[in-house]
Amino acid sequence: MASKVLFTAGAKGGTGKSTAARLLITFLRQNNADPLLLDLDDESSTLSRFFPEAQRVTIKKKSSHDVLVEQAISGTHPLILADLKAGTGREVLDWWLDVPFEELQAMAVTFVCFGSITSSPDSVQSFLTWVAALQDRVSYVVFKNLKDGEYLPDYEQTAEAAQFRSLFCPHHVVVPRLDEEYQTELERLNLTIAEVLDSSDGISARRKDLGPILSRLLVRARLRSYQRRIYEQFDPIRALLLPE
């Protein structure tokens, strides 16, 4: 069975990699895909906090990442989503260079890389470092996370980023800024937007109390609109995201 591995990339923390992963997972689930979730962030375990069913992988050595390829070639999961931790740049990049992409292609395993960039130059630099290592062996989706503002000159106006866009034709998803109050509540309660929207009587499907802020009708309406804006951008790339 063909497997597709979706993974987050970039060594800089706080760029919205796990936020992107969360939105992606809820979108995939809404489209009847059930990805195997691998949480390779053994420091903050963000993915496991929001999705307790995620498989936690402790990164102690380079070979710890082998689980990604092993799961992909086992064929039991047509779709795998791996959330890599920030700050693992070098070791993870070294690992990628060992991945036998040609052999995996013959086994119908494909990779999609999700980068997340903000207005911080470091977010662009660390992502481009990954691109230089991965080249055209993966497809790219770039999340333009506007949490720190809409000014992204290091991605939109630099020669290196322009070259990346021209060579690899990445897909772009703009993640608008979400009100800090809502964002903090979601993080505090480890709730995804989809969970909040699917809840009833202020209780989520995981039996979590939404609290006074997320239970408000207007807040839920804003979250719905926010989620819709992102899902609408996923729609044109469904074929890339969903299993074949």
Q: Which residues bind other proteins (CB under 8 A)?
A: 63, 66, 90, 93-94, 97-98, 121, 124-126, 128-129, 131-133, 135-136, 153-154, 156-168
Tell me whether residue 160 or residue 187 sits nearer to other proteins (CB atom). 160
Instruction: Please say which residue, 39 or 154, places its beta carbon nearer to other proteins.
Output: 154
Distance CA 91, CA 62 (A): 6
How far apart are alpha carbons 234 and 85 in whole angstroms?
A: 23
The C-alpha atoms of residue 242 and residue 116 are separated, in whole angstroms, by 20
Q: Quote the least distance from Cβ 15 to other proteins, whole Å.
A: 15
CA 39 – CA 48 distance, rounded (Å): 6
Joined together, the tokens standing for residue 122 give: 């470091």
Considering the complex, state which of residue 42 and residue 122 has its C-beta at the smaller distance from other proteins: 122
What is the smallest separation between the CB atom of 87 and other proteins, expressed in angstroms?
14
Three-class secondary structure assignment of 68-103: HHHHHHHCCCCEEEEEECCCCHHHHHHHHHHCCHHH
Q: How far is the CB of 143 from other proteins (least distance, A)?
A: 19
Instruction: Measure the CA–CA gap between 72 and 28, rounded to whole angstroms.
Output: 18
Q: Is the CB of 159 or the CB of 217 nearer to other proteins?
A: 159
In the bound state with other proteins, the residue whose beta carbon lies nearer, of 9 and 191, is: 9
Q: How far is the CB of 121 from other proteins (least distance, A)?
A: 6
Closest distance to other proteins from the beta carbon of 194 (Å): 35
**What is the separation, in whole angstroms, between the first and last Cα of the chain?**
9
> Phi and psi of 73, rounded to 5°?
-80, -15
- In angstroms, give the least distance from the CB of 82 to other proteins: 20
Q: Identity (one letter) of the amino acid at 60? A: K
If you search the block for the tokens 């990954």, which residue do you land on? 130
